[in-house]
């Protein structure tokens, strides 16, 4: 078994403030590690703001926040259910609730069903076009966990999955899809290829042990120029989406700052230092928030 430390944080708000019976399920949802929720949510917010005439609809933003929280939790639950045998072989993941036996596979599936019902209740608050678009994403949600077994590019499937909100946000505002939403979706795809390749470098030793694949293993020491390529395409496509809706100057200022941030990630990341990889990965929340503010400001001031 690998000697890396467990990835289950201890002594945080879950341990201090929640009943002991609820803690394994909250950890199964990764509620104590919100970065995944942010990365799922931000494309929704970008798109909803891009489609808005002025201020984005606060109700829609809150619905997307709740939906991202629940569906990220459902995705993590299903992922841990599928990977339970792999996780039990590695010290870093052996303490996860299903792998450790604290939550049985049957109870995990019941909990997954409960989360999906909550997600459905949130989804039904949108218009019917957005409901159809959102439902279509489930095919990706339930396919992604298996991709690491068959391809070195599971990050590409994550990109297709995690950025579905770029379509949902536009659909929720306008009741249709437009080229700008599709271009933004493509931008998010390449953004995810970048940040999740960085994340995967944390796990490359464990991935070799259990026999799963990732872009970190595929690209190896050649990762940095690939990151540059992924992020350049990201910025160009975001610029294309902004051009299609004639964004004002604050958008372009925010995009320039975001491009500098992505350049810093690609230049400075130490792919052999898991701590630095995690820090760079988490910093993508800041990139996403800067861009969101720029979109909103660009709509209001442009």
pLDDT in tens, 8-29: 777 788 888 999 999 999 999 9
Distance (Å, whole) CA 148 – CA 155: 9
pTM: 0.94
Is residue 2 predicted with pLDDT exceeding 60?
no
pLDDT in tens, 72-88: 999 999 999 998 988 78
Is residue 91 predicted with pLDDT exceeding 90?
no
Across the chain, mean pLDDT equals 94
- In CATH terms, the superfamily for domain 13-301 is UbiA prenyltransferase (1.10.357.140)
Ordered by start, the domain boundaries in the chain are 13-301
CB 196 within 8 A of CB 155: yes
**Angle at CA of residue 141, ends 136 and 143, nearest 5°:** 105
Distance (Å, whole) CA 301 – CA 171: 24
At residue 202, φ and ψ (nearest 5 deg) are -65, -35
Is residue 7 predicted with pLDDT exceeding 70?
no
Is residue 6 predicted with pLDDT exceeding 50?
yes
Is residue 3 predicted with pLDDT exceeding 50?
no
Res 261: pLDDT: 98
pLDDT in tens, 43-74: 999 999 999 999 999 999 999 999 999 999 99
What are the structure tokens assigned to 189, written together? 């795809």
């Amino acid at each position: 078994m690998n000697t890396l430390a467990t990835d289950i944080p201890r002594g945080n708000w879950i341990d201090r403030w929640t009943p002991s019976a609820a803690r394994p399920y909250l950890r199964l949802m990764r509620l104590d590690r919100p970065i995944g929720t942010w990365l799922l949510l931000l494309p929704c917010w970008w798109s909803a703001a891009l489609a808005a005439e002025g201020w984005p609809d606060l109700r829609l933003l809150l619905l997307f926040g709740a939906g991202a929280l629940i569906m990220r939790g459902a995705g993590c639950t299903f992922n841990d259910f599928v990977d339970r045998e792999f996780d039990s072989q590695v010290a870093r993941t052996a303490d996860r609730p299903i792998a450790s036996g604290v939550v049985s596979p049957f109870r995990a599936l019941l909990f997954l069903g409960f989360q999906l019902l909550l997600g459905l209740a949130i989804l039904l608050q949108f218009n019917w076009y957005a409901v159809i678009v959102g439902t279509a994403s489930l095919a990706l949600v339930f396919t992604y966990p298996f991709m690491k077994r068959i391809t070195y590019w599971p990050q590409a499937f994550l990109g297709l999955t995690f950025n579905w909100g770029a379509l949902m946000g536009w659909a929720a505002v306008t009741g249709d899809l437009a080229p700008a939403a599709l271009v933004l979706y493509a931008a998010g795809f390449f953004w995810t290829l970048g940040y999740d390749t960085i994340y995967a470098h944390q796990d490359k030793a464990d991935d070799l042990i259990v026999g799963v694949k990732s872009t970190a293993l595929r690209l190896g020491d050649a990762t940095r120029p690939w990151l540059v390529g992924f992020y350049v395409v990201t910025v160009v496509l975001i610029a294309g989406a902004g051009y299609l809706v004639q964004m004002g100057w604050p958008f372009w200022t925010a995009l320039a700052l975001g491009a500098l941030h992505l350049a810093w990630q690609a230049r400075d990341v130490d792919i052999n230092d898991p701590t630095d990889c995690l820090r760079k990965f988490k910093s993508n929340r800041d990139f996403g928030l800067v861009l969101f503010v720029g979109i909103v400001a660009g709509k209001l001031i442009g």
